[in-house]
Amino acid sequence: MTQHRSTSQRPQPPTGWRRLAFRLPIRLYRAGLGPLLGKRFLLLHHTGRKSGRERQVVLEVVSYDRDTHTWTVASGFGPKSDWYQNLRHRPQAAIQFGRRRFSVRAHFLSPEEGADVMAEYARRHPRAARRLSSLMGFPVDGSEAAYRRIGEATPFVRLEGTPLPSSP
């Protein structure tokens, strides 16, 4: 079994103006404009493992099954990402996907499952897979084998959801 790639080889999470730009989609969701981001993103509401406070992050949806209300997301900055660590500590969370809200439980995929997810994502979205892989610091040659290696080294989380009642 392949271990997750060392976080020292990954790009560091953004700081300064880049962090503000990365967090801009959260403001879109707060303004009720989250549906503009389409079905490729979701807003994750999770609990800080140290503070106990509610936290939010917008994540790209790698795969979505509308029949079972499951979403798969990747921790592009590795297993040390705060949202990933927070879900490890407390896997119950909530998401907003489009205009709908769901209660979710996080399930952490094995490296082999991650390889399958990444290979399928690359088949469906080849350009996005190249950009995402490059952003995460992985060399990309476009082959399925390369995407499978990237998937083995990337922490993936499957969020299994239950719809929440609509807000008045």
Q: Phi and psi for 164 in degrees, rounded to 5? A: -95, 150
pLDDT at 167 over 80: no
What tokens does 27 get? 């403001």
- Segment 82-101 shows an average pLDDT of 96
Q: Name the 3-class secondary structure at 22.
A: helix
- 142: exposed, middle or buried (Cβ count in 10 Å: 0-12, 13-18, 19+): exposed
Q: Is the pLDDT of residue 83 over 50?
A: yes
Distance between CA atoms of residues 104 and 144, nearest Å: 30
Is 50 exposed, middle or buried, given 0-12, 13-18 or 19+ CB atoms closer than 10 A? Answer: exposed
Residue 8, both tokens: 């020292």
Write down the pLDDT at residue 6.
Answer: 42
Domains and CATH numbers, the chain: 11-31+38-110+155-163 (2.30.110.10)
Residue 154 CB neighbours (<10 A): 26
pTM score, two decimals? 0.84
Query: What's the confidence (pLDDT) of residue 24?
Result: 77
pLDDT of amino acid 35: 87
* Integer Cα distance of 156 and 108 in angstroms: 6
CA distance 31 to 95: 16
